[in-house]
Structure 1
Amino acid sequence: MARIKLTGNDAASAIAIARKQLDQGAEGPFLFDLQVDLADALALNPETLAESIDVAEKAYRSDPSDPLAPRALYNAAFSALQSNQYEKAGQLANEFIQRFASDQLAADVRFISAESELMRGNVDGAIAKYQALLDQASADASQRPVWILRTAMALNRMQDYKSCIELLNREYETIKDDAQKAEAQFLLGQAHMLSEQPADAAASFERCATLVPGTSRATEAMLLRGSALLAAGEADAASQVWQSVIEADGASRMADQARYKLAQAAADAMRHEDAIRLYQAIIDGKHDPGLIPFALYGLGWSSMQVGQHQQSIAPLTRLIDEFPEHALADDALLARGISHRTLSDWASAKSDLQAYLKREPAPEGENLGHALYELAIVEQKSGEFASAAERLKRLIREVPEYPSMDDVLYELAWSSRQAELPADAVSSFRQLYERFPESKYAAEAAYFVAQDAYQKGDWAAAATSFRAAADKTNDASTSEKALYRLGWSYYKESAFEDAKNAFAEQAKKHPQGTMAIDALMMVGECSFKTQAYEEALTAYSSGRDLIRSSDDTAQSITDAAERQVRELILLHGGQSAAQLGRWDDAIAWYDDLKTRFPATAYLPQSYYETGVAYQQKGENAKALDYFKQVAERYRRREVGARARFMSGEIYFGDKQFDKAIPEFQAVMFGFGGEDAPAEIKNWQAKSGFEAGRCSELLMQNAKTDEARDRAKSFAIQFYKYVIDKHADHELIAKAKDRLAALGGG
């Protein structure tokens, strides 16, 4: 009766009949059959499936030799597998194989054994059993296609994609059912995709969809086909496939998945406006609730990429609030913090970023780096420079492979500077340009390192770094400044040729630069230092051309430093011409200086040099006029003493000794007298010696003994003045010789 009820799918009646008979103590040859029937009936109801295992196993163990024993053991193993008791299923299946290896159910039991291994995570063991099953079972076994598909699935799980592909290609023709063929193509597509054969994967997924049109499996295959086409570089074809899924049923879960893939592709292609539209459609449609948090994050992120930071905050906030345990919640918090920072909402940004850093598990890798970097920027903007520097140092320690490390070092250097930690700043700048010589910050970093060396007087190190800054920068201003400082670094080392080349390079590269005239002046200065007066004059002439073209005067050039550059060009240009014996040219240079900058600090020097030029031309009257103007106006300065001395020399040369001696005496006893500074004492000593020589010549030309004795007395006094008042002067020996010759020693 129980068997009849089972045949009619009336499991409940079958159970009732079997239980009644067993409870009444049924026995005899049909007892075993009754137990098996009860187990079969119990297995048909999910609520009694677990009980069926015990009933079937009990029947088997009551008489393992009964003809129905294999079936009972099979039922127990199969029910254990169905109720997720995988270890139990494996034990029962293995016992079956040992005892009933030749039974007609052996192949099915081997499948149960393999499945139990797979479900327990022993993929290797499962594959071995699947393959043994395929080797031992007949080619026309009805369940063989299932075994093939399960073996292929296990091989994919094992990442043995090559074996999966070989198996399915070998066995594909033995599979007759379209649904199973579709599954085979699906597995082939996965294997091809995971083994980086996207074109083959796309073809397999397409065949899968064609075999089972209109099914969820077909739609899933089309979604994956789009991914495969995208990976194969056929972005347009991929988009068309995903769009076809949407067009087939725009209100379906699969349609939203297609929208999500289209949105991701659009974002990857920097078409963020398209991505925003698609993410919003997913959120509004709500066809796939599981996609909502992903779409919210995507919407926020793409909004950020197009500068819509205010618009990004709402979706990110919704993700954080409504899905606090979602895998993207932390990323959303970080992204929102970045948007707040971009919007200059320092308080909100700081709150989000600090909260992100406190999340559990603790952030690590690039995201940790992003959070620390962003928080450091916020603290910089809030004036917390020392704290910002510590954040960036932590980033360097904990995320050494951070992809934007040059940005980190740059911000660390500036934070350190603003925190008044100059040594740390220089160290960071140095690391930046040494580790990242091609960074956009390399030139600026090299410049700051060079500045530090320059301030410390390490001219060689400064030159090296200024050279690097000049070579790396694309900024005209930085290039000009670096070359100018490079020239000065060499100049400070007295490497005048190198300095000249640097200044010349600056003048050539930046003829309209703010320091172009400075460069020309320094080219001249370097040549002047090495007595290359012709080259110096050429450089100064270029500088004078700029002065004249702009008609620079004391009224138009109000900055003292800029005015000094122009004054030096005109003064040293004249001196260079003088060194070349071009006295008229020299005078013209000095006149230009006096006319354009009448209050220049170099005016006494200009007057003096003009006097020298006229003297060299033999125009002594004009020379005396200039020398006397200098001497009268600058009674306490070296140039005044020198000019007065030169006046004496002119009179001396003209043998007007009576006029020469007073000029020399004015130097000896004026200009501060005995309290005069060393540079004036030099001219006092020379004046004393020259006065002595004048007196000796007066003595030689004297008409009377009295006049000769008086002149001799003056000469002795003058030489004694040199000896007594200027004992360390270079003329002391000559003064002593002359004094001895006069008998005054």
Structure 2
Amino acid sequence: MAHLRACLVLSLLVGLVVLGAWASPGAALEEADRLFLVGEKAFDDGLYPLSRRMLERFVERFPSERRAGEATLLLGKARLSQGAGEAALEAFKKAESFQPPPGKPGELRFWEAEAFYRLKRFSDARTAYSDVIAGGAAGPRVADALYGLGWSELEAKRREPAAAAFQRLVSEFPDHALAPTATIQLARTFIELKRAEDAQGVLQAFVTKNPEHKLAPEARYWQARARLAAGQTDQGVTDLRAFAKANPTSELAPAARRAVLDTLMKDGRKSELADEYTALMSQKPVSPDGLYDAGAIAERLGRSRDAETARARLRREFPEHPLTGRTSLQSAQAAFTKNAFREAATLARAAAKSPEDAVRGEAFLLVGESEMKLKRPAQALPAFQAAGDTAGLEPALHFRALAGSGLALEEQRQWTQAAKYYDEVAEKSPDKTLAAWARTRKAAVAANIKPAPKAGGKSEKR
């Protein structure tokens, strides 16, 4: 329905644009009215590219029109909605020149602050948000400015001022739409400041007042984390377990289970860890996070067979999940160190299906190295090349992959191609040892490279 409504609105607005293009001045809307109306309505309906075009035409053609200031402010907001922070800021600065300034008290300065924040100019954003707040309760944007100020302070790693901003918003504007989110962020900041009891206080007040609010589960999660931070370990663990059970699909459920496991491992509570392993393995529906955690628990308990059982299920039931890739890579690395190269190659190939570039690249590299240990250079070469082509792979691993490609080609007596890889490693690798090795290998294969045939001569068969 929302999409249909947007299409209908767009059709109407385009109709107005076309109408204005051929209608006589006395018929239909004047051009200024038409441009402003289309720009305003398009903005209200989220059609920001159209809104921006119409408003830019308006302010260019009618700079002295009575709505020019309002149009300039709205133009800045349309640009900001498109992610054009610098262009938005330019419009807001221009809007300041109008007398009186457009918008409600503090509104123009607030949008400047928003633009500064989007541009990561957090010091300027703090100043602008503070100006809005200093304008007093008469300004309708004070609560929004407090929220923005809190986040700006966090970006600057100034947690105490951030907490003060969020706390003032919660205290002075308890019914504001941003108050619940600010409450959560205030509690998280208190935890980081090691003020766990203060965090529990604000969260308890929120949950008591709003037990059915959509953020109440998240508040309960952070309340449990605050209890752990305050040393109330048993209660914190109990609350986190209850949260994970009551909200199995929440994006915080894996973090809750992980916090429980970390706490149990830290305290060495082996019997509870064993119970946790059993619970995770019998969980219905089973989750990739649960199987991953079960493997970690079994590993911690020294139960290697149980750890592999959990990881095998993870690979079988969730082959494309990021955690599967990480687990498979870890298992492959362990197998490689035990000289179990066939197993390492198999597990690394499973890890190479990961959607994460870093995991996928390292997995391809391990496939190549395992195949070389198995004396199968033809199978190793494409794996090394895939690793070398993986975006974002660490430089050390990237050059190991290039070196592996050279070695696989050398083993197949493809001397010229091997030399090219060795040249690149020798010239560009930050690892001096690897670069020196590449120079040695280049010298070794050079003797096998026959000179290029003279013009008109016959090519030599290699």
Q: TM-score, length-normalised on structure 2?
A: 0.63
Please say if 1:351 is aligned against 2:344. yes
Please say if 1:37 is aligned against 2:37. yes
After TM superposition, list the pairs within 5 Å mapping 1:609-648 onto structure 2: none
**What amino acid is aligned across from residue 145 of structure 1 in structure 2?**
A
Note if contact 2:311-2:327 (Cα within 8 Å) is conserved in structure 1.
Answer: no
- Residues 545-600 of structure 1 show CA distances to partners (whole Å, capped at 9, x for unaligned) of xxxxxxxxxxxxxxxxxxxxxxxxxxxxxxxxxxxxxxxxxxxxxxxxxxxxxxxx
Alpha-carbon distance between aligned partners in 1 of 2:24 and 2:106, rounded to the nearest angstrom:
33
- Residues 244-287 of structure 1 show CA distances to partners (whole Å, capped at 9, x for unaligned) of 435655666655654444344334433321331453366x425x
Question: Which of 330, 333, 347 matches 1:334?
Answer: 330
Deviation, structure 1 residue 323: 5.8
What SS does the corresponding residue of 2:340 show, helix, strand or coil? Answer: helix
- Give the structure 2 partner of residue 197 of structure 1: 195
What SS does the corresponding residue of 2:322 show, helix, strand or coil? Answer: coil
Note if contact 2:240-2:257 (Cα within 8 Å) is conserved in structure 1.
Answer: yes
Question: Which of 130, 142, 145 matches 1:144?
Answer: 142
- Give the structure 1 partner of residue 285 of structure 2: 285
Alpha-carbon distance between aligned partners in 1 of 2:341 and 2:306, rounded to the nearest angstrom:
15
Structure 1 residues 253 and 30, CA, compared in 2 at 3 Å: closer, same or farther? Answer: same
- Give the structure 2 partner of residue 96 of structure 1: 95
Note if contact 1:93-1:109 (Cα within 8 Å) is conserved in structure 2.
Answer: yes
What SS does the corresponding residue of 1:209 show, helix, strand or coil? Answer: helix
Deviation, structure 1 residue 152: 1.0
What SS does the corresponding residue of 1:285 show, helix, strand or coil? Answer: coil
**Structure 2: any 5+ residue segments left out of the alignment?**
360-365, 371-395, 397-462
Question: Which of 159, 164, 169 matches 1:166?
Answer: 164
After TM superposition, list the pairs within 5 Å mapping 1:218-367 onto structure 2: 218-246=216-244, 248=246, 258-270=256-268, 271-280=272-281, 284-285=284-285, 292-317=287-312, 319=314, 322=318, 326=322, 329-330=325-326, 332-335=328-331, 338=334, 347=340, 351=344
Alpha-carbon distance between aligned partners in 2 of 1:293 and 1:155, rounded to the nearest angstrom:
36
- Residues 76-133 of structure 1 show CA distances to partners (whole Å, capped at 9, x for unaligned) of 1112222323232222222222445733346223222222222222222222221222
Note if contact 1:80-1:88 (Cα within 8 Å) is conserved in structure 2.
Answer: yes
Alpha-carbon distance between aligned partners in 2 of 1:99 and 1:275, rounded to the nearest angstrom:
66
**What amino acid is aligned across from residue 55 of structure 2 in structure 1?**
A
Deviation, structure 1 residue 302: 0.8
Note if contact 2:329-2:347 (Cα within 8 Å) is conserved in structure 1.
Answer: no
- Give the structure 2 partner of residue 85 of structure 1: 84
Percent of aligned pairs with the same residue?
15
Higher relative contact order (CA 8 A, sep 6+): 2
Please say if 1:72 is aligned against 2:71. yes
**What amino acid is aligned across from residue 163 of structure 1 in structure 2?**
P
After TM superposition, list the pairs within 5 Å mapping 1:712-731 onto structure 2: none
- Which of the pair is proportionally richer in helix? 1
After TM superposition, list the pairs within 5 Å mapping 1:523-602 onto structure 2: none
Alpha-carbon distance between aligned partners in 2 of 1:263 and 1:141, rounded to the nearest angstrom:
48
Q: TM-score, length-normalised on structure 1?
A: 0.41
What SS does the corresponding residue of 1:84 show, helix, strand or coil? Answer: coil
Structure 1 residues 281 and 248, CA, compared in 2 at 3 Å: closer, same or farther? Answer: same
Alpha-carbon distance between aligned partners in 2 of 1:250 and 1:295, rounded to the nearest angstrom:
10
Alpha-carbon distance between aligned partners in 2 of 1:334 and 1:246, rounded to the nearest angstrom:
26
Note if contact 2:80-2:115 (Cα within 8 Å) is conserved in structure 1.
Answer: yes
Which of structures 1 and 2 has the bigger CA Rg? 1
Alpha-carbon distance between aligned partners in 2 of 1:301 and 1:272, rounded to the nearest angstrom:
10
Note if contact 1:185-1:204 (Cα within 8 Å) is conserved in structure 2.
Answer: yes
Note if contact 1:303-1:311 (Cα within 8 Å) is conserved in structure 2.
Answer: yes
Note if contact 1:312-1:336 (Cα within 8 Å) is conserved in structure 2.
Answer: no
Deviation, structure 1 residue 166: 2.3
What SS does the corresponding residue of 2:215 show, helix, strand or coil? Answer: helix
**What amino acid is aligned across from residue 334 of structure 1 in structure 2?**
Q
Deviation, structure 1 residue 66: 1.3
Deviation, structure 1 residue 217: 1.5
Please say if 1:49 is aligned against 2:78. no
Note if contact 1:319-1:332 (Cα within 8 Å) is conserved in structure 2.
Answer: no
Deviation, structure 1 residue 351: 3.0
**What amino acid is aligned across from residue 298 of structure 2 in structure 1?**
S
Structure 1 residues 62 and 274, CA, compared in 2 at 3 Å: closer, same or farther? Answer: farther
Deviation, structure 1 residue 154: 2.0
Structure 1 residues 244 and 317, CA, compared in 2 at 3 Å: closer, same or farther? Answer: closer
**What amino acid is aligned across from residue 31 of structure 1 in structure 2?**
E
- Give the structure 1 partner of residue 408 of structure 2: none
**Structure 1: any 5+ residue segments left out of the alignment?**
1-5, 287-291, 363-370, 376-397, 399-745
Alpha-carbon distance between aligned partners in 1 of 2:49 and 2:19, rounded to the nearest angstrom:
21
64-73 or 107-116, larger mean C-alpha shift:
107-116
Alpha-carbon distance between aligned partners in 2 of 1:122 and 1:166, rounded to the nearest angstrom:
21
Deviation, structure 1 residue 183: 2.5
Structure 1 residues 19 and 26, CA, compared in 2 at 3 Å: closer, same or farther? Answer: farther
Structure 1 residues 69 and 138, CA, compared in 2 at 3 Å: closer, same or farther? Answer: farther
Note if contact 2:332-2:344 (Cα within 8 Å) is conserved in structure 1.
Answer: no
Structure 1 residues 355 and 17, CA, compared in 2 at 3 Å: closer, same or farther? Answer: closer
Structure 1 residues 71 and 277, CA, compared in 2 at 3 Å: closer, same or farther? Answer: farther
Alpha-carbon distance between aligned partners in 2 of 1:13 and 1:277, rounded to the nearest angstrom:
59
Alignment length (residue pairs): 347
Structure 1 residues 353 and 31, CA, compared in 2 at 3 Å: closer, same or farther? Answer: closer
Note if contact 1:294-1:328 (Cα within 8 Å) is conserved in structure 2.
Answer: no
Alpha-carbon distance between aligned partners in 2 of 1:108 and 1:174, rounded to the nearest angstrom:
19
**What amino acid is aligned across from residue 119 of structure 2 in structure 1?**
R
Structure 1 residues 279 and 348, CA, compared in 2 at 3 Å: closer, same or farther? Answer: farther
Alpha-carbon distance between aligned partners in 2 of 1:195 and 1:52, rounded to the nearest angstrom:
44
Alpha-carbon distance between aligned partners in 2 of 1:10 and 1:353, rounded to the nearest angstrom:
55
Alpha-carbon distance between aligned partners in 2 of 1:352 and 1:160, rounded to the nearest angstrom:
48
**What amino acid is aligned across from residue 22 of structure 2 in structure 1?**
Q
**What amino acid is aligned across from residue 322 of structure 2 in structure 1?**
H
- Give the structure 1 partner of residue 133 of structure 2: 134
- Residues 486-515 of structure 1 show CA distances to partners (whole Å, capped at 9, x for unaligned) of xxxxxxxxxxxxxxxxxxxxxxxxxxxxxx
Structure 1 residues 323 and 65, CA, compared in 2 at 3 Å: closer, same or farther? Answer: farther
- Give the structure 2 partner of residue 678 of structure 1: none
- Residues 283-311 of structure 1 show CA distances to partners (whole Å, capped at 9, x for unaligned) of x425xxxxx44433321111122232112
After TM superposition, list the pairs within 5 Å mapping 1:411-450 onto structure 2: none
Note if contact 2:261-2:297 (Cα within 8 Å) is conserved in structure 1.
Answer: no
What SS does the corresponding residue of 2:66 show, helix, strand or coil? Answer: coil
Structure 1 residues 126 and 279, CA, compared in 2 at 3 Å: closer, same or farther? Answer: farther
Alpha-carbon distance between aligned partners in 2 of 1:21 and 1:85, rounded to the nearest angstrom:
30
**What amino acid is aligned across from residue 114 of structure 1 in structure 2?**
A
Deviation, structure 1 residue 230: 0.8
Alpha-carbon distance between aligned partners in 1 of 2:198 and 2:151, rounded to the nearest angstrom:
18
Note if contact 1:226-1:239 (Cα within 8 Å) is conserved in structure 2.
Answer: yes
Note if contact 1:87-1:120 (Cα within 8 Å) is conserved in structure 2.
Answer: yes
Deviation, structure 1 residue 148: 1.0
Alpha-carbon distance between aligned partners in 2 of 1:304 and 1:59, rounded to the nearest angstrom:
67
What SS does the corresponding residue of 1:60 show, helix, strand or coil? Answer: helix
Note if contact 1:42-1:49 (Cα within 8 Å) is conserved in structure 2.
Answer: yes
**What amino acid is aligned across from residue 234 of structure 2 in structure 1?**
D
Structure 1 residues 280 and 268, CA, compared in 2 at 3 Å: closer, same or farther? Answer: farther
After TM superposition, list the pairs within 5 Å mapping 1:380-395 onto structure 2: none
- Give the structure 2 partner of residue 596 of structure 1: none
**What amino acid is aligned across from residue 305 of structure 1 in structure 2?**
R
What SS does the corresponding residue of 1:166 show, helix, strand or coil? Answer: helix
Question: Which of 215, 218, 234 matches 1:217?
Answer: 215
Alpha-carbon distance between aligned partners in 2 of 1:58 and 1:212, rounded to the nearest angstrom:
47
Alpha-carbon distance between aligned partners in 2 of 1:265 and 1:23, rounded to the nearest angstrom:
69
Deviation, structure 1 residue 36: 1.0
